[in-house]
């Protein structure tokens, strides 16, 4: 999927999602107008190392995951989505996030948190 958008009158950007096997990569090119033609000024992409990807695959294959493993898996899964897929994922979760927001109790603090303390008080370590 490619998108070409005018960023400003003299600048433009191109986004391309590239598939390599079962992985997706987002590639962005930024252009400026100079002497009547577009000139490539910058390229941006994100390439995460293989270790987090391997961990995500290992966690995905587990029939049962602990709460911590599930949290790690979900975060890694989101990290490896393309930008378009990540946005769609967050949009699908919007209702759940709104419900969570409406049920959350505001925390009233009169002082900053201390080291080893969270919103529930001192943590047991």
How confident is the model over 61-86, as pLDDT tens digits? 999 999 999 999 998 988 888 787 88
Residues 42, 65 within the same domain: no
CB 10 within 8 A of CB 33: yes
Residues 57, 88 within the same domain: yes
How confident is the model over 10-35, as pLDDT tens digits? 677 888 888 878 777 788 888 888 78
CB 1 within 8 A of CB 18: no
40 compared with 101, residue with greater pLDDT = 40
Listed in sequence order, the residues at least 6 apart from 26 whose beta carbon sits closer than 8 Å to its beta carbon are 15, 16, 17, 18, 45, 46, 82, 83, 84
Q: Can you list the positions of beta strands (E) in 11-104?
A: 11-20, 23-34, 37-45
Residues 29, 42 within the same domain: yes
Q: So what's the pLDDT on residue 113? A: 62
Residue 72 domain-assigned? Answer: yes
Query: Which of the four pLDDT bands, split at 50, 70 and 90, describes residue 57?
Result: very high
Residue keyed to tokens 């979760």: 93
Q: Supply the range of the domain harboring residue 73.
A: 48-101
């Amino acid at each position: 999927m490619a998108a070409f958008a005018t960023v400003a009158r003299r600048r433009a950007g191109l986004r391309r999602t590239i598939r390599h096997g079962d992985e997706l990569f987002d590639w962005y090119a930024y252009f400026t107008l100079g002497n009547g033609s577009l000139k490539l000024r910058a390229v941006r992409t994100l390439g995460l190392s293989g270790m987090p990807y391997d961990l995500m695959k290992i966690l995905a294959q587990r029939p049962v995951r602990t709460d911590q493993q599930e949290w790690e898996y979900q975060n890694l899964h989101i990290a490896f989505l393309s930008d378009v897929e990540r946005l769609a994922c967050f949009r699908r979760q919007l209702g759940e996030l709104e419900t969570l927001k409406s049920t959350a109790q505001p925390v009233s603090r009169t002082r900053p948190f201390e080291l080893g303390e969270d919103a529930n008080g001192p943590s047991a370590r």
